[in-house]
Amino acid sequence: MKEFLEKKVIRNNNFTLTLTLVVILAAFQLINRNYLSLGNIRSILNQAFVMGTLSVGIGCLLICGKADLSSGSIGMMGGLIVTFLINWGIPWPLAVVITLIAGAFMGALNAFFTNVLNIMPFIATLGVATVLSGLGQVFTNMQDIPVNNKSFWALGTTKFFNLLPLPFLITIVLLVVYGVILKRTRFGRQVYMTGGNANAARLAGINPKMISTILYINSGMIATIAGILTAARVNMGSPTAIVSYNLDAITVAVLGGISFTGGTGSMSGVFIGILLFNSFKNGLVISGLDSYYQIVASGLLLMAALILDFYREKSRLNALRSHKRVS
């Protein structure tokens, strides 16, 4: 029984997360009866898509043992670029494609600093983020820029069954696609192996730098998707949007069971993490808590996730050790 509990509850992260999610939903529903109403669920999902999308790219990088603090700024730039392009009269599908390519370039910048110059990913991506958010301010003079295009607007505001917004659907699609890539393909296994032990991966014939370069470019592109969707939803490009979601995206990924040391975690965990984080945040709002407490509460949630991560890692190592002893 004890073994069963340990296996199912402590080591199976998704089970714990789902349980926590249910508890949170029930608790806030008791506090406010409108919590699980159609309108509020829609507003939770509408808020969730930005950090959800970012967390796909960031999650892959974390699994590979790298970090990315520039996604938010890349996303912000993506929103601005697509806005500018559309306002210049370029048809929106083409503008979206160009923006994605720009995102790939911005991601490649991260890859250059971390892989070619061997700078710590955290600080390198932070530097890139500062440059980009500064450029965003320079280009716009700190003004929001409206988009003049109805069909582009539909990209951000369409919803299905009066419940599921298109941007969140795109997030789900991305999660599924990357979940499959990570778990079912050769490349995915290489990502896990690089994150688990880059040296061992190299000896096994994998090029860890190549893997992380691909993932940085990928993360840049996904970040611009978040930017494009945000620009479409609020119908403007803003030099301050999305930037702050970067940390939230990391929180969600860690909450979802992606370890900071790399090599573990899954997209299904990230999905539950996204729902958990956003229901928690929304619950705090809807129960009338001061918005300042929300900042602190999010911090406590992240800290709890990190400490949980520590114990999870410890139990994993213990399990490995005891396994070795038996054999």
Partner 1 sequence: MENTNRLRKILTSKEFTLFVTLVAIVLLFGSISPNGAFLKPRNIRSILDSMTIYTLFAVGGALVIISGNIDLSPSYVGAACGVLLAKLLNDGVPWYLVVPICLLMGAAFGVLNAVLINEFKIQSFIATLTTGTFIAKGLVYLIPDGVTYQIKDPVVVWYSTGKIFGFVPITMIISIAIIVIFGIVLAKTRFGRSVYLIGGNANAARLAGLKPKKLSYIIFACSGALGALAGMLYAGRLKSGSLVGTVDYGFPAVTAVILGGVSLGGGTGNMLGCFLGLLIINGFNNGLLVMGVKPYWQDVASGVLLLVALTIDYFSTRERKIRTTLSSKGGMGQ
**By the criterion CB under 8 A, which residues form the site for partner 1?**
67, 113, 117-120, 122-124, 126-135, 137-138, 141-142, 247, 250, 260, 290, 292-293, 295-296, 298-300, 302-303, 306-307, 309-310, 313
CB of 297 to partner 1, least distance (A): 8
CB of 309 to partner 1, least distance (A): 8
The residue among 131 and 164 lying less far from partner 1, judged by its C-beta, is 131
The residue among 45 and 128 lying less far from partner 1, judged by its C-beta, is 128
185: left (phi over 0), alpha (psi -120 to 50) or beta: beta
CB of 206 to partner 1, least distance (A): 24
The residue among 119 and 319 lying less far from partner 1, judged by its C-beta, is 119
d(CA 270, CA 171): 11
The residue among 97 and 296 lying less far from partner 1, judged by its C-beta, is 296
CB of 184 to partner 1, least distance (A): 30
CB of 183 to partner 1, least distance (A): 26
CB of 41 to partner 1, least distance (A): 26
CB of 162 to partner 1, least distance (A): 34
Three-class HEC string of the chain: CHHHHHHHHHHCHHHHHHHHHHHHHHHHHHHCCCCCCHHHHHHHHHHHHHHHHHHHHHHHHHHCCCCCCCHHHHHHHHHHHHHHHHHCCCCHHHHHHHHHHHHHHHHHHHHHHHHHCCCCHHHHHHHHHHHHHHHHHHHHCCCCEECCCHHHHHHHHCEECCCEEHHHHHHHHHHHHHHHHHHHCHHHHHHHHHHHCHHHHHHCCCCHHHHHHHHHHHHHHHHHHHHHHHHHHHCEECCCCCCCHHHHHHHHHHHCCCCCCCCCCCHHHHHHHHHHHHHHHHHHHHCCCCHHHHHHHHHHHHHHHHHHHHHHHHHHHHHHHHHHHHC
The residue among 142 and 176 lying less far from partner 1, judged by its C-beta, is 142
The residue among 141 and 327 lying less far from partner 1, judged by its C-beta, is 141
The residue among 76 and 96 lying less far from partner 1, judged by its C-beta, is 76
The residue type of 270 is V
CB of 116 to partner 1, least distance (A): 9
The residue among 59 and 156 lying less far from partner 1, judged by its C-beta, is 59
Nearest of 307, 310, 308, 301 to residue 51 by alpha carbon: 301
